[in-house]
Amino acid sequence: MTSRIFVALDTPDLSRARAIATRVRAHVGGIKLGLEFFAAHGQAGVREMAHLGLPIFLDLKLHDIPNTVAKAVQALSPLEPAILTVHAAGGRAMLEDAKAAASPKTKVVAVTMLTSLDATDLHQTGVTGTPHDHVVRLAALAQEAGIDGIVCSGEEVASAHAAWPKGFLVVPGVRPAGGPAGDQKRVVTPRAALDAGASILVVGRPITQADDPDAAARAISATL
């Protein structure tokens, strides 16, 4: 079975990203490339990483008016990423247009609430209720819009899975038991996230900053 782990290569350094991906490729199911990488290297950098033969999760969290997002997704479609993120807060029309513009080979998933935020952060933006309530509302919106799934923390994935059994549920902010949380506020272990219904897990620093990234990826995979 292909690993459910996507390693987050959150770096603007192409050589470092390629080196880490090469080291861990036998123990991960794909690689996640985010804003730092894309801002530095653009589509050419994504194509360079694609030569490694691993599925690519392009985590750009697109959020703009529907027409702009649709055109951006259309511009990215030749890359055929396995997964592409947009923001659920962009609204139903934006989500629908993003899905319509994407390559048929790409899963479009909506970011609900960043794992670096908690209830206090949410309230400061004017959103009432708990993070759990907010994520469940946005998950319902994403499902109604006909996209493939959502990104949510491990704290909400069980509820999202219960409401959307066929949704593609991406859980970032995953940390091995006893590991440092870093700037993440809502974290769970890889095993707990998978048991709760996660489709894939995004793991960054516990692998990329380990003394031996390959051993770290292998150890996390063993818990699954």
Q: Which residues are catalytic?
A: 61
How far is residue 110 CA from its own chain's centroid?
9
Instruction: Kindly give the residue spans of alpha helices, DSSP state H, lying in the chain.
Output: 14-24, 35-50, 66-76, 92-101, 119-124, 131-145, 157-163, 190-195, 205-208, 213-222
Contact 101, 70 (CB under 8 A): yes
If you ran DSSP here, which 8-state letter would residue 170 be given? E
Q: How far apart are CA 188 and CA 205, in angstroms?
A: 14
